[in-house]
Chain A
Amino acid sequence: MKDVELKMIERAKELLASGEVARVIGWKKGEFYFDPVPASFETVEELDSLVYNYFCGANLSKYLIEMSKKEGKTAVFLKPCDTYSFNQLVKEHRIKRENVYVIAVECLAKLDINKIKAQGVTGVTDVEVVDKQVKVTSLYGEVVLNKPDVVLEKCSVCQKTHQVKDEEIILHERPERDVNRFAQVAELEAMTEDECFAFWRNQLSKCIRCNACRNVCPACSCVKCVFDNPASGIAAKANDDKFEEQLFHIIRAFHVAGRCTDCGECSRVCPQNIPLHLLNRKFIKDIDSFYGEYQAGETAEGKTPLTEYTEGDTEPNDVFKGEAK
Chain B
Amino acid sequence: MLKIAKERLNDLYAKIAESMGLFIPIKRAGEVNYAVWAEGKEVSLETLKTVKSPKNAFFPQTENMMKFKTEGKNLEVIDIRKDWSEEKSFVMFGVKACDYKAIEVLDKVFLAEPVDTYYQLRRKAGIIVTLACSRPEESCFCKAFGIDATSPLGDVTTWMDETYLYWQANTEKGEALTALVQDLFTEGGEEEVAAQKETTAAIIDKLPYSNLDLSRFKPENLNELFNASEWEEMSEACLGCGTCTFVCPTCQCFDIRDFKTNEGVLRYRCWDSCMYSDFTLMAHGNSRTTQMQRFRQRFMHKLVYYPSQNDGLYSCVGCGRCVNKCPQNLNIVKVIKTLGGKNND
The one of B51, B62, B273 in contact with A271, judged by C-beta atoms closer than 8 angstroms, is: B51
Q: Any chain A CB within 8 A of the CB of B327? A: yes
Q: Any chain A CB within 8 A of the CB of B116? A: no
What separation, in Å, do the CA atoms of A210 and B325 have in the docked complex? 11
Q: Mark A259-295, 1 if CB is under 8 A from B, else 0.
A: 0000000001101111000000000000000000000
- Main secondary structure on chain B at its contact with chain A? loop
What separation, in Å, do the CA atoms of A276 and B182 have in the docked complex? 46
In residues 93-147 of chain A, which contact B (Cβ within 8 Å)?
A: 122-125, 138-140
Nearest A residue to B323, CB-CB: A35
In residues 128-167 of chain B, which contact A (Cβ within 8 Å)?
A: 135-138
Q: Which chain B residues border A63 with CB–CB below 8 Å?
A: 237
Q: Any chain B CB within 8 A of the CB of A313? A: no
Q: Any chain A CB within 8 A of the CB of B193? A: no
**Looking at chain B, what size class is its interface with the partner chain?**
35 or more
Known contacts A228-B278, A230-B278; A31 and B243 CB within 8 A of each other: no
Q: Which chain B residues border A58 with CB–CB below 8 Å?
A: 237, 327-328
Contact B31 A237 (CB under 8 A): no
Contact B62 A238 (CB under 8 A): yes
The one of B61, B137, B233 in contact with A240, judged by C-beta atoms closer than 8 angstroms, is: B61
What separation, in Å, do the CA atoms of A137 and B206 have in the docked complex? 15
Q: Any chain B CB within 8 A of the CB of A184? A: no
What separation, in Å, do the CA atoms of A139 and B202 have in the docked complex? 12
Q: Which chain B residues border A212 with CB–CB below 8 Å?
A: 239, 241-243, 327
Contact B333 A208 (CB under 8 A): no
Contact A271 B135 (CB under 8 A): no
What separation, in Å, do the CA atoms of A273 and B28 have in the docked complex? 11
Contact A40 B29 (CB under 8 A): no
- Choose the segment among B6-14, B119-127, B213-221, B264-272 that binds chain A (4+ C-beta atoms closer than 8 Å): B264-272
What separation, in Å, do the CA atoms of A91 and B289 have in the docked complex? 28
Q: Which chain A residues border B136 with CB–CB below 8 Å?
A: 123, 139
Q: Any chain A CB within 8 A of the CB of B198? A: no
What separation, in Å, do the CA atoms of A258 and B33 have in the docked complex? 35
Nearest A residue to B255, CB-CB: A237
Contact B242 A210 (CB under 8 A): yes
In residues 1-40 of chain A, which contact B (Cβ within 8 Å)?
A: 30-32, 35-40
Nearest B residue to A269, CB-CB: B327
What separation, in Å, do the CA atoms of A238 and B208 have in the docked complex? 36
Contact B51 A272 (CB under 8 A): yes
Q: Mark A193-237, 1 if CB is under 8 A from B, else 0.
A: 000000000110110111110111000000010001110000101
What separation, in Å, do the CA atoms of A138 and B236 have in the docked complex? 30
What separation, in Å, do the CA atoms of A38 and B234 have in the docked complex? 10
Contact A237 B328 (CB under 8 A): no
Contact B270 A240 (CB under 8 A): yes
Report the minimum CB–CB distance from A206 to chain B (whole Å).
Answer: 6
In residues 311-345 of chain B, which contact A (Cβ within 8 Å)?
A: 325, 327-330, 333-334, 337
Contact B241 A215 (CB under 8 A): yes
Q: Any chain B CB within 8 A of the CB of A239? A: yes
Q: Which chain A residues border B327 with CB–CB below 8 Å?
A: 58, 212, 216, 268-269
What separation, in Å, do the CA atoms of A205 and B61 have in the docked complex? 13
Nearest B residue to A38, CB-CB: B237
Nearest A residue to B56, CB-CB: A208
Q: Which chain B residues border A214 with CB–CB below 8 Å?
A: 241
The tally of residues in A whose CB lies under 8 Å from a CB in B reads 45
Nearest A residue to B31, CB-CB: A272
Q: Which chain B residues border A37 with CB–CB below 8 Å?
A: 237, 328-330, 334
Q: Any chain A CB within 8 A of the CB of B23? A: no
What separation, in Å, do the CA atoms of A237 and B62 have in the docked complex? 9
Q: Which chain A residues border B28 with CB–CB below 8 Å?
A: 202, 205-206
In residues 203-260 of chain B, which contact A (Cβ within 8 Å)?
A: 203, 206-208, 233, 236-237, 239-243, 245-247, 255, 257
Q: Any chain A CB within 8 A of the CB of B52? A: yes
Report the minimum CB–CB distance from B280 to chain A (whole Å).
Answer: 12
Contact A240 B329 (CB under 8 A): no
Contact B236 A40 (CB under 8 A): yes
What separation, in Å, do the CA atoms of A237 and B280 have in the docked complex? 13
The one of B137, B236, B257, B271 in contact with A122, judged by C-beta atoms closer than 8 angstroms, is: B137
Contact A230 B246 (CB under 8 A): no
Contact A239 B61 (CB under 8 A): yes
Q: Which chain B residues border A273 with CB–CB below 8 Å?
A: 30-31
The one of B30, B236, B241 in contact with A210, judged by C-beta atoms closer than 8 angstroms, is: B241
Known contacts A216-B327, A268-B327; A208 and B48 CB within 8 A of each other: no
Nearest A residue to B207, CB-CB: A139
Report the minimum CB–CB distance from B149 to chain A (whole Å).
Answer: 13
The one of B237, B257, B333 in contact with A31, judged by C-beta atoms closer than 8 angstroms, is: B333
Contact B29 A206 (CB under 8 A): yes
In residues 58-110 of chain A, which contact B (Cβ within 8 Å)?
A: 58, 63
Q: Any chain A CB within 8 A of the CB of B297? A: no
Q: Which chain A residues border B60 with CB–CB below 8 Å?
A: 240
Q: Which chain A residues border B52 with CB–CB below 8 Å?
A: 208
Q: Which chain B residues border A268 with CB–CB below 8 Å?
A: 327
What separation, in Å, do the CA atoms of A240 and B335 have in the docked complex? 32
Q: Mark A239-259, 1 if CB is under 8 A from B, else 0.
A: 110000000000000000000
Q: Any chain A CB within 8 A of the CB of B281? A: yes
The one of A138, A139, A237 in contact with B206, judged by C-beta atoms closer than 8 angstroms, is: A139
Contact B29 A216 (CB under 8 A): no
In residues 22-64 of chain B, which contact A (Cβ within 8 Å)?
A: 28-31, 33, 48, 51-52, 60-62
Q: Any chain A CB within 8 A of the CB of B118? A: no
Contact B237 A202 (CB under 8 A): no
What separation, in Å, do the CA atoms of A30 and B135 have in the docked complex? 24
Contact A32 B138 (CB under 8 A): yes
The one of B30, B137, B270 in contact with A139, judged by C-beta atoms closer than 8 angstroms, is: B137
**What are some 6 contacts across the A-B interface (CB < 8 A)?**
A138-B138, A202-B29, A206-B33, A210-B243, A224-B277, A237-B271
| Nearest 6 A/B pairs, CB to CB | A240-B62, A269-B327, A212-B241, A238-B270, A35-B329, A215-B239
Given contacts A37-B330, A210-B242, 9 further A-B contacts (CB under 8 A): A30-B334, A38-B328, A208-B51, A210-B241, A214-B241, A224-B277, A237-B255, A238-B270, A271-B243
